Each structure stands twice: as structure tokens, then as C-alpha cells.
Amino acid sequence: MPQILVEELSKTYRIAEREAGVAGALKGLVHRRWRAIEALTDVSFAVEAGELVGLIGPNGAGKSTTIKILSGILEPTSGRCEVDGLVPWRQRIRHVARIGVVFGQRTQLWWDLPVIEGFDLLRDIYRVPQDRYARTRDELVALLRLERVLRQPVRQLSLGQRMRCEITASLLHGPQLMFLDEPTIGLDITAKAAIRDFIREQSRDAGQTVLLTSHDTRDIELVCERVIVINDGRIVVDQPVTELRRRARGDQFAGITHRTSEAHTTVIEVDTSRIRVEQVIAAALAQGGIDDVAIEDPPMEEVIHEIYASFARG
């Protein structure tokens, strides 16, 4: 059985509406109007143990709602969801003991306490044996280079330092499943690279399953092996990253397309489902001398942009 199983999951929010101004506010107190918003509609997917999966989509697509349901924070309106055989919102205490969660714009550490004291409090909350906790904490501190910040209050940390501490905090109890919602938001290039490397290595070395949401296409490109694209609360793509590249390239270009030309340099796009790269190079050589050839996949940002644009085109 998959580690994560989601079948026909739906979530509807009901929000109050009122007319503008004081009169509208008073009227709303007497006759309140409600509007239903479909955040998720019949979402289904499965994730096997050890997979690195990216969950992406435009703002408001339903990514964070999905993560919150999987982590037990929200209860869906309908559908089935099991994580390691548990229903997250019904068996929440047992469930949260097995998972790690990081929300990029929220903290699970105590703002005014030194980092190390926050770690110690989490050990007590999760009831981790002292020897196992100390071993795990010291390994994570070394891997994420946190030695110099352990005695600092969380409020004094830079954003990059705080995010490394948040990831450490989420792993202290040894979860085999990580939910990461925008873990690199607002970070500089160096901090992003450190966190991406750590997520990949942790999954590889500890066999952890990772479900990652991010608007940074490099997070998806460098961390994930599979991408689920969600739009308007529905899954529209669920493919390995390599297949996602081929899909976008094949849909956008037919055969060979000239992209740009500069002095001594020409860039073309090749649809490898219609023509082999070797044939293109042979044809170019037949036209004259070539000093150098570079073959690259299209940037992930371009691939995902094309997928989003297809939503707008209908």
C-alpha cells in the first residue's frame, strides 16, 4: 500500500459576504450571505515510501490546503485520505508523531527562547528518549551548520538560519515523512542551496518521503523526482520531472524551432519526439564548421510557465 493514499478528496470553504460600507456591515449582521469556495475537487494521487514529490500550482490552486489535510490540520469535506494507514484528522496524535512539517511562513519554535531550548521542548512534546534525541540533534546541527546559533533567541536569527532551525526541529523525532510548504521562501541563493542539498541527502540517506510545495522552480528541478500540478483545486498533471519536460517541449514546438541568434551563436529548440538530436547536428555540420555544441534541457521555469499558460488558454 502507498505511504500516502488520496482518493477523490474535496474541500469546500464557506465565507461570509457583505456589502461595502457601514450600512453593508449592519445589514450583514441581520442577513448574512454565504458563498462556497471549492478549494479541492476530487483530488486523487498516491505517493510511495522514499519518493521526492513536488506539489505545484498557481496561487490559490489548493497546494497548502492539500498539505494541511495530509498533516491533519484540516478535515476535508469528502473523500478518502490515509497516511501510513492512518486518517490524519481522526488519528491526529498518532499521525503527527510520525511526520515532520515545515511551513515557510510560520514557526514551530518559540520566538523568545534560544534555539537549543526550543529543541529540548520539542523532545519533551514528542517524548523522544534522551540518548536518541541527543544523537539526532547533534547530527542535524552539524549537517546544517547550526552550532553558532544554538544559544541565540529565534527572533535574532536571519531568515536562512531560522529555516535551517525549523527543518532541524521537524526532524528531531525521526519522522519518515516530511511535508515542506515553501521551505525556501525569501531565502538567498546560498541558503536555498544548503536546504535543497540537505532535503535530497536526507531522503537518500534516511529513506524519507518528501512532499514539497514551492513557487521556486529550482526547488522542484533540483529536489523532486516527480511533479503533481494542481490548478483550481484539481490535479492536471502528475508525472516524473523528466516526462514533464518532454511533455512541455513536445506541446510547444514542432520539429526544430529557431530561438535566438547572436554573434557566433545560434540557439535552436529540438522536439526530440519528431527528430533526433544527432540528425540535427549532422545537418548543421553539413552547412559549415561548428566550433562547439551545447545540449541542454529547457529550464524548468520555462516548462512550468508553459503549463500554467495552458490553464489560461483553457
- pLDDT grade for 312, boundaries at 50, 70 and 90: low
CATH class of the domain at 48-240: alpha beta
Which pairing describes strands 52-56 and 209-213: parallel, antiparallel, or unpaired? parallel
What is the residue whose three cell numbers read 511535508? 179
- Look at 140 and 17; give whichever has higher pLDDT: 140
Return d(Cα 126, Cα 72) in angstroms, integer. 16
Strand partners, 242: none
- Which of 26-40, 148-162, 205-219 is the least confident region? 26-40
Instruction: Map residue 112 onto helix, strand or coil.
Output: coil
pLDDT of residue 253: 40
- pLDDT grade for 192, boundaries at 50, 70 and 90: confident
pLDDT of residue 212: 93
| Rg (alpha carbons) of the chain, rounded to whole number | 24
Return d(Cα 73, Cα 207) in angstroms, integer. 25
Mean pLDDT of 93-104: 90
- Among 81, 101, 110, residue whose Cα is nearest residue 4: 81
Distances (CA, A) of 184 to 51, 55, 103, 212, 239: 20, 14, 10, 10, 23
Domain boundaries, the chain: 48-240, 245-313
Which runs of consecutive H residues, i.e. helices, occur in 82-214?
Answer: 92-96, 115-126, 130-143, 159-171, 189-206
pLDDT of residue 275: 73
pLDDT of residue 35: 82
Which runs of consecutive H residues, i.e. helices, occur in the chain?
Answer: 21-30, 63-70, 92-96, 115-126, 130-143, 159-171, 189-206, 217-223, 241-252, 277-287, 300-313
pLDDT, tens digit, 9 for 90 and up, residues 23-76: 766 666 667 777 888 999 999 999 999 999 999 888 888 998 999 999 999 999
pLDDT of residue 251: 44
